[in-house]
């Protein structure tokens, strides 16, 4: 038995069926074979089609005909949001399975396909856009894909911006990002940029936006604890720094300038760090100046033995560190957890937060420039090397309470009252 297959002829025959009728208005032959008309309001042009073809190619038309709405009864649909050329291309695709996508029509095809549920064209046009994504189109594509809930294109647009961020922030297109975009970027594990450079780009963005609330929300995500003394001085010269943050930065600056106090504190801090770098079970308990009490437990310890690390990182080459020899790695600890003992919610009881499934290898982090640290690159809990301050992107590697979503203000403030710039009053370590 032999099977004869000629898809090319089938495609051409169906294409001709559609085109012959719609290219000559005076041609009446075959008109009775068509049972549905689509009118393009922009150009006042109508296309004769078949319900069977439309419903087999689009879930939108399939549902429309099943519902037997007005359009079904009148055998006519008027479209107000599409040009003649785009509609003609897509209807030709319905019949022939062929369509030409280029830089002129890709976005419009994507928009139409998303609205009228044409999955194949969503994928094809999205792939074309991905391959041709550039700085000048990245933000517009990101915003468009968000409006249409195209998650893969959202992720790709973010990844493109992140991978090219050091160059992207030098362009005017960076200024078109919205607050939610910058929030996501600041909390991303993969961004390779000095924290002070990030701060400078945020200031440039803020001066363009001129929205004090947005600027304040974004600036609070900056990890000022990683700034050098000179960077802190330069930061305080900026007029856009919120007063609350300026006051905290001034306190940090005074600490940096007080050599006697620094020497006294650093002696005790380094002694503390030499204690915690041991392969033992212990709790670390932190109390902030705002009376939040929280901490973490490790069964493994912040070991310097690299043979016991799950992953070693050279990490960010653009970043400057306070130590000459920089070591940074993750340690597997499936029994590690974080906890909260006291917070700003009187009705909140002590809570324990275990490691997420699949995140065990990022349970704890050893770094020569960090204090005790739990979670991945964007750490659930990171303490500065001088044990004076910290930040918390809670939910990265450890489970949040069921009612809290990751990367929200509530998750970021859950442990310490804020994402960063919280000050430590006391740190205690209990070996088991």
Which domains are seen in the chain, by residue range?
8-22+31-132 (3.30.710.10), 166-256 (1.25.40), 266-431 (no CATH)
pLDDT tens-digit readout, 112-145: 888 888 888 898 899 999 999 899 889 999 998 8
The mean pLDDT of 53-67, rounded to a whole number, is 82
Token pair 């297109």 is at which residue? 173
pLDDT exceeds 60 at position 27: no
Tokens, residue 379: 């750490």
How do strand 76-79 and strand 36-40 relate by DSSP bridges? parallel
Range from 86-90, 124-128, 254-258, 276-280 that averages highest in pLDDT:
124-128
- Residue 378: band (very low, low, confident or very high) from pLDDT cuts 50, 70, 90: confident
The mean pLDDT of 225-240, rounded to a whole number, is 78
> Residues with Cβ < 8 Å from 106, sequence gap 6 or more?
125, 128, 129, 132
The mean pLDDT of 271-293, rounded to a whole number, is 72
pLDDT at 263: 39
pTM of the model: 0.58
Listed in sequence order, the DSSP H helices in 148-222 are 151-163, 165-168, 179-186, 195-209, 212-219
Give just the sign of the alpha carbon dihedral 215, 220, 223, 227: positive
Q: What's the mean pLDDT when you consider all of the chain?
A: 77
- Give me the half-sphere count of Cα atoms (radius 13 Å) on the Cβ side of residue 322: 15
Secondary structure (DSSP) of 315-329: --TT---SSSS--EE
Is 109 buried (19+), middle (13-18) or exposed (0-12) by CB count in 10 A? buried
What percent of the chain lies above the pLDDT cut of 90? 8
pLDDT at 352: 93
pLDDT at 117: 86
Q: How would you list the strands of the sheet with 36-40, edge to edge? A: 45-49, 36-40, 76-79
> Residues with Cβ < 8 Å from 347, sequence gap 6 or more?
none
- Residue 22: band (very low, low, confident or very high) from pLDDT cuts 50, 70, 90: low
pLDDT exceeds 80 at position 380: yes
pLDDT exceeds 50 at position 319: no
Give φ, ψ of 183 to 5 degrees: -60, -45
Give the bridge partners for 283, in sequence order. 297, 430
Range from 22-26, 400-404, 426-430 that averages highest in pLDDT:
400-404
In this predicted model, which residue has the larger pLDDT, 351 or 244? 351
pLDDT tens-digit readout, 80-92: 878 888 888 888 8
Give the bridge partners for 285, in sequence order. 295, 428
What kind and span of H or E run contains 16?
helix 7-23
Cα distances from 115 to residues 118, 147, 219, in angstroms, run 8, 11, 37
pLDDT at 17: 57
Distance, in Å, from the CA atom of 160 to the CA atom of 155, rounded to the nearest integer, reads 9
Give φ, ψ of 335 to 5 degrees: -100, 5
pLDDT tens-digit readout, 136-148: 889 999 998 888 8
- Residue 388: band (very low, low, confident or very high) from pLDDT cuts 50, 70, 90: confident
pLDDT at 24: 57
pLDDT exceeds 60 at position 277: no
Indicate the DSSP class of residue 303: -
In this predicted model, which residue has the larger pLDDT, 422 or 343? 422
pLDDT at 46: 78
Is 287 buried (19+), middle (13-18) or exposed (0-12) by CB count in 10 A? middle
Distance, in Å, from the CA atom of 428 to the CA atom of 324, rounded to the nearest integer, reads 28
The alpha carbon of 103 is separated from its chain's Cα centroid by a whole number of angstroms, namely: 26
Hey, how many other C-beta atoms are within 10 angstroms of the C-beta on 95? Answer: 20
pLDDT tens-digit readout, 331-369: 899 999 999 987 766 466 889 999 999 899 889 888 777
Judged by average pLDDT, the poorest of 71-75, 164-168, 255-259, 268-272 is: 268-272
Is 70 buried (19+), middle (13-18) or exposed (0-12) by CB count in 10 A? exposed
pLDDT at 374: 92
Hey, how many other C-beta atoms are within 10 angstroms of the C-beta on 361? Answer: 16
> Residues with Cβ < 8 Å from 52, sequence gap 6 or more?
none
pLDDT exceeds 80 at position 70: no
- Residue 254: band (very low, low, confident or very high) from pLDDT cuts 50, 70, 90: low
pLDDT at 255: 55
Tokens, residue 295: 């901490």
**In 3D, which of 181, 173, 253 has the Cα closest to residue 217?**
181
pLDDT at 355: 93
pLDDT at 143: 92
Report yes or no: 298 and 332 within 8 Å, Cβ to Cβ. Answer: no
């Amino acid at each position: 038995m032999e099977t004869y297959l000629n898809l090319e002829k089938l495609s051409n025959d169906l294409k001709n069926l559609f085109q012959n009728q719609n290219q000559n208005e005076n041609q009446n032959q075959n008109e009775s074979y068509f049972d549905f008309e689509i009118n393009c309001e922009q150009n006042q042009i109508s296309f004769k089609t078949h319900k069977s073809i439309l419903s087999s190619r689009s879930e939108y038309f399939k549902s429309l005909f099943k519902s037997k709405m007005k359009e079904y009864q009148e055998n006519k649909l008027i479209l107000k949001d599409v040009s003649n050329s785009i509609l003609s291309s897509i209807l030709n695709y319905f019949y022939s399975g062929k369509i030409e996508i280029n830089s002129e029509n890709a976005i419009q095809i994507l928009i139409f396909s998303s609205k009228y549920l044409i999955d194949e064209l969503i994928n094809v046009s999205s792939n074309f856009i991905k391959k041709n994504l550039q700085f000048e189109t990245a933000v517009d594509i990101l915003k468009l894909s968000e409006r249409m809930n195209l998650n893969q294109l959202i992720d790709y647009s973010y990844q493109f911006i992140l991978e090219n961020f050091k160059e992207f922030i030098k362009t005017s297109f960076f200024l078109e990002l919205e607050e939610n975009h910058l929030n996501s970027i600041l909390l991303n594990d993969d961004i390779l940029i000095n924290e002070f450079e990030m701060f400078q780009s945020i200031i440039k963005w803020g001066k363009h936006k001129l929205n004090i609330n947005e600027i304040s929300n974004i600036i609070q995500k900056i990890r000022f604890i990683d700034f050098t003394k000179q960077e802190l001085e330069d930061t305080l010269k900026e007029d856009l720094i919120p007063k609350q943050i300026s006051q905290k930065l001034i306190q940090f600056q005074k600490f940096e300038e007080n050599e006697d106090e620094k020497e006294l504190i650093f002696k005790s801090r380094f002694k503390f760090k030499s204690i915690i770098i041991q392969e033992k079970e212990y709790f670390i308990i932190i109390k902030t100046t705002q009376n939040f009490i929280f901490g973490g437990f490790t069964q493994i310890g912040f070991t310097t033995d690299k043979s016991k690390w799950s992953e070693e990182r050279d990490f960010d080459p653009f970043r400057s560190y306070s130590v000459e020899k920089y070591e940074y790695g993750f340690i597997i600890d499936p029994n590690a957890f974080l906890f909260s003992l006291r917070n700003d919610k009187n009705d909140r009881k002590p809570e324990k937060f275990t490691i997420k499934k699949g995140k065990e290898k990022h349970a704890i982090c050893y770094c020569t420039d960090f204090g005790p640290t739990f979670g991945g690159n964007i750490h659930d809990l990171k303490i500065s090397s001088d044990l004076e301050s910290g930040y918390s992107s809670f939910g990265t590697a450890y489970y949040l309470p069921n009612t809290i979503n990751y990367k929200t203000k509530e998750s970021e403030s859950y442990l310490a009252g804020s994402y960063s710039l919280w000050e430590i009053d006391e740190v205690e370590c209990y070996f088991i």
